[in-house]
Amino acid sequence: MPIYEYAIIHPDGSLGERFEIMQSMSDDALTKHPESGEPIKRLISSPALNLQHGEATEKSKLSDKNLDRLGFTKYQKSGDNTWEKRAGKGPDSITRD
């Protein structure tokens, strides 16, 4: 079940304390605070996703060791028309004629 964020509505219309409640997606939005009975409003907020994403993760996926483990071959340019193998199977170097 998702967690929804709500805020208390002050008499002047401004938003006050924020809190979270776990509800079914099919449940209607709450209109009153479950404990105090004050009027509340459901807020729109971004979902909290636990994604392992970032520059460090992307670099480790493309590391020579990981590519070799997954069966990929990687060549890196080492000079004019010359490429050296960094991971995988195949010739140690290749040249372009």
Query: Which stretches of 26-82 are DSSP H helices?
Result: 55-61, 64-69
Gap between the Cα atoms of 62 and 10, Å rounded:
52
Q: pLDDT tens for residues 35-93?
A: 999 999 999 887 766 666 666 666 777 889 999 999 999 999 988 889 999 999 999 99
Gap between the Cα atoms of 33 and 19, Å rounded:
10
